[in-house]
Amino acid sequence: MADGDQLKYLSGFGNEFTSEDPRCPGALPQGQNNPQKCPYELYAEQLSGTAFTAPRHENKRSWLYRIRPSVIHLPFERVTSTRLVQKWSENPPNPNQMRWLPFKLPGDDEKVDFVDGLYTVCGAGHPSTRSGVAVHVFLCNTSMEDKCFYNSDGDFLIVPQEGTLNITTEFGKMKVAPNEICVIQLGMRFSVAVSGPTRGYILEVFDGHFQLPNLGPIGANGLANPRDFLTPVAWYEDRDVDSFKVVSKFQGHLFQAEQGHSPFDVVAWHGNYVPYKYNLANFMVINAVEFDHCDPSIFTVLTCPSARPGTAIADFVIFPPRWAVQEHTFRPPYYHRNCMSEFMGLIHGRYEAKEEGFLPGGASLHSTMTPHGPDTLCFEGASNAELQPARLADGTQAFMFESSLSLTVTTWGEETCHRLDHSYYQCWQTLKKHFNPARKNQ
């Protein structure tokens, strides 16, 4: 069977998809989801991402037609881990601006796979109440072998920064490279293969699922277009093994069960609850053409809304290459205090408002109501530059995880990782007073 990068993808965000492995034509039952006997004597299994009674336009579920049902495994046992944390009281809160140097990759003498390389940086809430978010990084160099992972707590939005992820899911395969993202939703089993040092970021949401933001006055077109989201086609392996490890993240803890076969044995599936990927280069930027600086919300790719209209549990926002054509205005991000929390990462290049110190593979966190904005170099340059149409962020891709929740940094994020830049605050200390009551700028 072809590798994941050779498989065709099904296109379109949130649609009802049908897919079957071409080796078994007609594997999808016709006319009913759960017949007395499925074609090829497969088992029917439903994966529900919402309550059965959720409104039709919100209801998420897929039917999987597989060689064995996923219930065939030995009991789960607790796996001790200090890397994944969802008990935020273990580390005292810190309102300071924080910036991390690039998170360290495993050394050549270590073998660390995707699951073993997961580290929690910050978060809020708890999965047992299905409310909150967590931000993780993954730092690995080895493929998962006879091992899969699924998250019982929420959705993973995965942002590769270095190295390509070859992801096998129950629905098929996806190849996700830097400047692409993927979303593996609640309960979906997957395995990650890598070739060499691999690093990236993860935004986890405990309540709801990611969706496209409403466009409002923008109209029908713009930002991330539904047709550019891709989900894999069905692919199965019928493989018996001595011990296949199934790792579950449940209420913030890891558990492991063993079974004697590969869980990637889904021959056909249909539904609207699927893993998917998106190329950030396809984002259609909306920009000002007169004056002032639009809020970063115009760069939202995906959102997980809260019960409060217009307020997100989490937004995924990017700052892609674009034209800047404003007149008589301050073009970079303005100085700001926000009721939201802002965690930023850099995939490649140099971020326009922090060209020094904010590095690919690193991050920053500006917590609720903590002031932030351009450093001195950026402010002085932008205030005195000739305003003419200009390209911004060519060769650069920064992003932001924004949340209405107040995020607490873990002990690993603040201390153990040894990547926190304690000099970050200094980038604003050289901002000068320019005020002169005898002179008014025109």
* pLDDT at residue 1 in the model: 35
What is the average pLDDT across 2-16?
Answer: 70
Supply the range of the domain harboring residue 398: 286-428
Q: Is residue 358 in some structural domain?
A: yes
**C-alpha span between 331 and 318 (Å, rounded):** 17
Domain match, 199 and 306 both? no
What is the average pLDDT across 406-421?
Answer: 96
Q: Which segments of 275-398 does DSSP mark as H helices, in order? A: 376-384
More confident residue, 294 or 356: 294
Domain match, 241 and 290 both? no
Among the three residues 236, 263, 280, which one is the final residue of a domain in this structure?
280
Domain match, 273 and 291 both? no
Give Cα 368 to chain centroid, integer Å. 21
Domain match, 230 and 363 both? no
Q: Is residue 414 in some structural domain?
A: yes
23: exposed, middle or buried (Cβ count in 10 Å: 0-12, 13-18, 19+): exposed
Q: Is residue 438 in some structural domain?
A: no
Domain match, 126 and 237 both? yes
Token reading at 429: 């200390």
Where are the strands (E) in 290-396, listed by range? 300-305, 312-319, 322-324, 341-348, 363-366, 390-392
* pLDDT at residue 3 in the model: 45
The CATH number assigned to the domain holding 83 equals 2.60.120.10
Is the pLDDT at 327 greater than 90? The verdict is no
Token reading at 279: 């190329």
Is the pLDDT at 2 greater than 50? The verdict is no
**Percent of the chain residues topping a pLDDT of 70:** 98
For residue 433, what are the contacts with CB-CB under 8 A and spacing of at least 6? none
For residue 24, what are the contacts with CB-CB under 8 A and spacing of at least 6? 39, 40, 236, 267, 268
Among the three residues 280, 302, 333, which one is the final residue of a domain in this structure?
280
Token reading at 412: 């690993």
Domain match, 200 and 299 both? no
Is the pLDDT at 34 greater than 60? The verdict is yes
What is the average pLDDT across 202-231?
Answer: 95
441 pLDDT band (50/70/90 cuts)? Answer: low
* pLDDT at residue 281 in the model: 97
Is the pLDDT at 87 greater than 90? The verdict is no
Q: Is residue 18 in some structural domain?
A: yes
Q: Is residue 439 in some structural domain?
A: no
Consecutive H or E run containing 7: none
Is the pLDDT at 333 greater than 90? The verdict is no
CA torsion sign for 355, 410, 334, 325 is positive
Domain match, 269 and 293 both? no
DSSP state of 436: -
* pLDDT at residue 351 in the model: 84
**C-alpha span between 390 and 352 (Å, rounded):** 13
Domain match, 182 and 215 both? yes
Domain match, 271 and 299 both? no
Is the pLDDT at 240 greater than 90? The verdict is yes
Domain match, 243 and 372 both? no
3-state class of 155 per DSSP?
strand
**C-alpha span between 107 and 326 (Å, rounded):** 46
Q: Is residue 163 in some structural domain?
A: yes
Q: Is residue 441 in some structural domain?
A: no
Domain match, 154 and 214 both? yes
Q: Is residue 33 in some structural domain?
A: yes
**C-alpha span between 238 and 246 (Å, rounded):** 16
Domain count, the chain: 2
89-103 pLDDT, tens per residue? 999 999 999 999 999
Domain match, 340 and 216 both? no
Among the three residues 217, 248, 280, which one is the final residue of a domain in this structure?
280
CA torsion sign for 119, 125, 127, 131 is negative
Catalytic residues: 293, 336, 342, 366, 372
DSSP state of 170: T
